[in-house]
Amino acid sequence: MSGSDIEVLIEKFARLPGLGPRSARRAVLELIKNKNSLLWPLIQALENTANNTKICTRCGNFDLIDPCNICNDPKRDNTLLCIVEGVADLWALERSGCFKGLYHITGGLLSAIDGIRPEDLNLENLSLKINELNISEVIMALSATLEGQTTAHYLAKFLDDTSVKVSGLARGIPVGGELDFLDDGTLTTALKSRRPL
- Write out the residues near its own copies by the rule CB under 8 A: 1-6, 8-9, 12-13, 15-19, 22-23, 25-33, 35, 38-43, 45-50, 52-53, 61-65, 69, 86-88, 91, 94-95
Of 94 and 120, the one with the shorter C-beta distance to its own copies is 94
Is residue 109 within 8 A of residue 142, CB to CB? The reply is yes
Min separation Cβ 33 and its own copies, Å: 8
- Would strands 165-168 and 137-140 be described as parallel, antiparallel, or unpaired? parallel
Of 91 and 132, the one with the shorter C-beta distance to its own copies is 91
Of 120 and 127, the one with the shorter C-beta distance to its own copies is 120
- 137-140 β-sheet, strand order: 102-105, 80-84, 137-140, 165-168
* CB under 8 A, 24+ apart: contacts of 3-10: 6/32
Min separation Cβ 22 and its own copies, Å: 8
Of 16 and 191, the one with the shorter C-beta distance to its own copies is 16
Min separation Cβ 60 and its own copies, Å: 11
List Cβ neighbours of 84 (8 Å cut-off, separation of 6 or more). Answer: 90, 93, 103, 104, 105, 106, 141, 142
Min separation Cβ 105 and its own copies, Å: 11
81 DSSP β-pair partners:
102, 138
Min separation Cβ 3 and its own copies, Å: 4
DSSP 140: E
Of 31 and 159, the one with the shorter C-beta distance to its own copies is 31
